[in-house]
Amino acid sequence: MTTTATDGPTLARLAALLADDTRARICLALLDGRAWAAGELARLAGVAPSTASDHLTRLVRGGLLVEERQGRHRYVRLAGPSVAQLIEDLAGHAPARPRPARSLRAVRADAALAYARTCYDHLAGRLGVLLRDTMLDRGLLDGADGLALTPAGVGWLDGLGVPVAPLRAARRPLMRDCLDWTERRPHLAGALGAALCARFLDVGWLTRGGGRAVRLTPAGGPALAAALGLDPADLAPDGAPDAGGGRA
Amino acid sequence: MTTTATDGPTLARLAALLADDTRARICLALLDGRAWAAGELARLAGVAPSTASDHLTRLVRGGLLVEERQGRHRYVRLAGPSVAQLIEDLAGHAPARPRPARSLRAVRADAALAYARTCYDHLAGRLGVLLRDTMLDRGLLDGADGLALTPAGVGWLDGLGVPVAPLRAARRPLMRDCLDWTERRPHLAGALGAALCARFLDVGWLTRGGGRAVRLTPAGGPALAAALGLDPADLAPDGAPDAGGGRA
DNA sequence: GCGACGCTTCGGTGGGCACCGGAACGAGTC
DNA sequence: GACTCGTTCCGGTGCCCACCGAAGCGTCGC
């Protein structure tokens, strides 16, 4: 028999993959869960295509990314939810640094992101945190002895068209708290968080803005408020007058 | 443009703290939850004291470690459970690399670690995983809809002298799955995991071996088996004939 | 076919940093 | 007070790696 699994150098090599500004930027961008082309990532990170290509190769070799070649394009995405979780956790532990606003456009985009965005495959931002809080308030989740769905919660999900049974069968955990970058409080991740986010997009309550931002649709606001037993005003993006301008 | 709270460089600087072999070794050693002197860590990592001192300063500045000066000694320990969790998560994602056994002593020490050890402040290794599994089997935990204590579990803990009420009041989550390095399956962390481990040590069911290893005491084996409704043989460290030799 | 495009490979350059030894400093010890 | 010991500060060295531009290669479009 062999031994303890992870030694120092092994851990260091994994951390080194995220210890570079450019690679970190790339991984954060990929947290939207979609596949990006190599050139897009190079432009986003502000480096030459050759440099980005190098980084992508390294990240793929390290197991953080998977690639898919299509014609002359090289698409990469995060290797899975566990990688997304790892990056989220790291980002959650990094010191929160309020950044100076650079332009009105940037302020609007930041406000839109702070209000609602995807975090790999689930919902984050104020809306994500509010969703979890309300589910706890309404007794759909029980947070006293861990974090678990109540029978009422199972019924509520069923009513939304999110049957729980297939989620239980999934290999990933049903629920998991994910520390929100902007709110510094947890939102809902795991199979359930992903299913809820997908469902809201499916039925048109949410729609993707550019990048990671998502927006409540005119129909989605009242519908979600009703489902949660909230006043529609509670869902207003009160943080800033973002409107719909955030097309980054 | 980038995101609101955590941008690429911020994430990269955090990751860079763990991206060095020596610093990674130091952090892994500190996962035992105790405070180590700078010189001890230098010897453990195999570098000059001046080099280790430099690394410690960097880790403290980065918020991963806290220090405590006592006379001419500088003691450092992990800054808290959240840092321990971060390192555990990273280690859990690192590829498991079977290492060749180097000596009989090393094999014995490794076997002792694989059987039972502390993971910052909670129990890990085969024993830790078995504990969680059995609690699920016995209906003390409910894993179907998240991870939650059942009423039976609350009573069981009370009988062990681990009242749940103060744990609920703690700021850290009551329970959390922590991926075990050696078993690659979850064991129990969070406030409850820490309280259980502390209690087992308090009542003398477990005792600390050298380093991170812990051992079942002659009295503790049958007692723990009885508490869990297991045959004492189920708790045997069957992986290897470790006996009590594992004094790193 | 030809050209445009996206990506990769390949030297070359530069900066950051891990490491050490030696000197200095403070705290304990006799 | 002299000595030891743990730690820190400092200068110097060498390695690793992020970056680029240029050239090469497959893919798509006209």
Q: What is the 3-state secondary structure (H, E, C) of chain A?
A: CCCCCCCHHHHHHHHHHCCCHHHHHHHHHHCCCCCEEHHHHHHHHCCCHHHHHHHHHHHHHCCCEEEEEECCEEEEEECCHHHHHHHHHHHHHCCCCCCCCCCHHHHHHHHHHHHCEEECCEEECHHHHHHHHHHHHCCCEECCCEEEECHHHHHHHHHHCCCCHHHHHCCCCCCEEEECCCCCCEEEEHHHHHHHHHHHHHCCCEEECCCCEEEECCCHHHHHHHHHCCCHHHHCCCCCCCCCCCCC
For residue B43, the model assigns a pLDDT of 93
Greatest mean pLDDT range, A32-41, A84-93, B17-26: B17-26
Residues A28, B8: C-beta atoms closer than 8 Å: yes
Tell me whether strands B122-124 and B141-142 are parallel, antiparallel or unpaired: unpaired
Q: How far apart are CA A212 and CA A30, in angstroms?
A: 9
- Chain B residues whose beta carbon lies within 8 Å of the beta carbon of residue A165: none
Asked if the model's pLDDT at residue B31 lies above 50, the reply is yes
Q: How far apart are CA A38 and CA A25, in angstroms?
A: 13
Q: Is the C-beta of residue B182 closer than 7 Å to nucleic acid chain C? A: no
- Chain B residues whose beta carbon lies within 8 Å of the beta carbon of residue A89: 85-86, 89
Q: How far apart are CA B8 and CA A181, in angstroms?
A: 13
Question: pLDDT averaged over chain B?
Answer: 86
Asked if the model's pLDDT at residue A237 lies above 80, the reply is no
| Range A33-51 average pLDDT | 93
Under DSSP, the state recorded for B55 is: H
Q: How far apart are CA B222 and CA A220, in angstroms?
A: 58
For residue B109, the model assigns a pLDDT of 73
- Chain B residues whose beta carbon lies within 8 Å of the beta carbon of residue A10: 94-95, 97
- At residue B170 the predicted structure's pLDDT band, cuts being 50, 70 and 90, is confident
Pair A199, A18: CB distance under 8 Å? no
B8 CA to D15 C1', in Å? Answer: 26
Residues A28, B239: C-beta atoms closer than 8 Å: no
